[in-house]
Amino acid sequence: MLDLKLIRQNPEAVKVALGKRKLEYIKAIDELIIIDEKKRIIQQKADELKSERNNLSKSIKSKDEAINIQAQVKSINAQIQVLDQEQITLNEALEAIILYMPNLPSADTPDGKDERENQEIHSWGNKPILNSPKPHWEIAEALGILDFENTTRLSGSRFGSFIGQGAKLQRALIQFMLEEAANANYLELSPPAIIQGQILRGTGQLPKFAEDLYHLENTDQYLIPTAEVPLTGFYANGQALKEADLPKKLCAYTPCFRSEAGAAGRDTRGLIRQHQFDKIELVHICKPEDSFSEHEKLVRQAENILEKLELPYRRILLCAGDMGFSASKCYDLEVWFPSQNQYREISSCSNCTDFQARRLNLKFKRDQKNELVHTLNGSGLAVGRTWAAIVENYQLDNKLGFKIPKVLQDYMKISELS
């Protein structure tokens, strides 16, 4: 959520920043200011009346004296009730706008409408030289380590199963990624995959993106779309964090669930776009002045995983129009997929500044005062896509199979699968 005070004090700057994402937000700012103005006038009136009522009540010491002021207080109460109701209505109108407004792009976020205007920061690694690169599902299904056919009967489209060495490879990746995070002093959490709507509102998935989530019937509970939600929301209990405890670095391995509404027809084959996938998530909670340097550290942590797996990738700085709702600045890491002859997203590292912290009421104490923290999140990494990238980049040119990355060989006890 954006800071209402900032909008009030500097509406033009907010309009310019939001306009970089989508022009339609500019008009909403004007509406917001009008509602806010009305709301404050009403609050002042209501507060004055309440003050008057309190003073009258305080002057009464016994039941008998009460008779003198009963009528007066009742009439004040009637006025208060009307004003309070108006304030509730205005507040709802205000929330209906501000909860649907995305974070302001940072100053160094490039202008641009969509992914075509993203900036490549750098690329790493050597793309494999292959005569006829096969897609990962072709190799994996033929090897019997990945199944879609039976699994679709079990669960529907966009679900798959890892089998035998395939399942073990997934486990190896999870173990490897968690160890890397532990070595970098991340605190591992193993949170539930079911979470309250309130927290999803805090991190920005709700109310705007409800259709992307799996909602449990007759509850306010949802399946997590990413461990970003439980990790970022973990300390959102209203109790301020200690300044000395920041930055907090958290990691978690969880399944992630996405309805993929609106993705019909895209990436229908293989592991790229599934309803359920595993991911190791990294979250930093830090002081406001540190968030941009923490963001660089976070993205380096994710890159480090790709480098140790020796997977060719590039880092992209997203333009304003392509950035996620809660992010102020975002790097995507994209891994090379030989069969598609293109890079595909494998990690998205966002600096959400105080946007989620304000919604979650996530604060730290500095000099006796509570201040909003900044929150950052990034994948380190999406396991299914990493699995697929390994199969494709390490595939053998002369026969069916692929090599196992060096860092996973101890765990897998083999160097090649064919």
**By CB under 7 A, is residue 48 in contact with RNA?**
yes
**By CB under 7 A, is residue 77 in contact with RNA?**
yes
Angle at CA of residue 159, ends 299 and 414, nearest 5°: 65
**By CB under 7 A, is residue 70 in contact with RNA?**
yes
**By CB under 7 A, is residue 69 in contact with RNA?**
yes
Site residues for RNA, 92-131, by CB under 7 A, read none
**By CB under 7 A, is residue 244 in contact with RNA?**
no
**By CB under 7 A, is residue 406 in contact with RNA?**
no
Least separation, in Å, of the C-beta of 365 and RNA?
A: 7
**By CB under 7 A, is residue 61 in contact with RNA?**
yes
Those residues with Cβ within 8 angstroms of residue 312's Cβ, 6 or more apart along the chain or in another chain: 123, 124, 125, 126, 127, 128, 335, 336, 393
Q: Which C-beta is closer to RNA: that of 1 or that of 271? A: 1
**By CB under 7 A, is residue 28 in contact with RNA?**
no
Helix (H) or strand (E) holding 355, with range, is: helix 355-360
**By CB under 7 A, is residue 79 in contact with RNA?**
no
Which tokens hold the place of 102? 């995305």
Site residues for RNA, 127-186, by CB under 7 A, read none
Q: Tell me which stretch binds RNA (CB under 7 A): 60-68, 112-120, 273-281, 400-408.
A: 60-68
Instruction: Give 28-35 contacts, CB < 8 A, sequence gap 24+.
Output: 28/97, 28/100, 28/101, 31/97, 32/4, 32/7, 32/94, 32/97, 32/98, 33/7, 33/8, 35/90, 35/93, 35/94, 35/97
Site residues for RNA, 325-344, by CB under 7 A, read none
Residue 78 buriedness (CB in 10 A; 0-12 / 13-18 / 19+)? exposed
Which tokens hold the place of 392? 């494709």
Least separation, in Å, of the C-beta of 84 and RNA?
A: 9
Site residues for RNA, 270-329, by CB under 7 A, read none
Q: Which C-beta is closer to RNA: that of 42 or that of 145? A: 42
**By CB under 7 A, is residue 60 in contact with RNA?**
yes
DSSP category for residue 117: G
Least separation, in Å, of the C-beta of 48 and RNA?
A: 6
Q: Which C-beta is closer to RNA: that of 70 or that of 190? A: 70
**By CB under 7 A, is residue 9 in contact with RNA?**
no
Residue with tokens 């004040």: 76
Site residues for RNA, 356-375, by CB under 7 A, read 363, 365, 368-370
**By CB under 7 A, is residue 73 in contact with RNA?**
yes
Which tokens hold the place of 110? 């490039």
Q: Which C-beta is closer to RNA: that of 78 or that of 261? A: 78
Q: Pairing mode, if any, of strands 363-366 and 241-242? A: parallel
Interface with RNA (CB under 7 A), residue from 51, 155, 268, 418 = 51
269-299 burial: b if 16+ Cβ within 10 Å, else e: ebbbbbbbbbbbbbbbbbbeebbbebbebbb
As a 3-state breakdown, the chain gives helix, strand, coil percent values, each rounded to 5, of 45, 20, 35
Of 388, 385, 365, 394, residue with least CA distance to 137: 388
Residues interacting with RNA, by CB under 7 A? 4-5, 40, 43-44, 46-48, 50-51, 53-58, 60-63, 66, 69-70, 73-74, 77, 239-240, 363, 365, 368-370
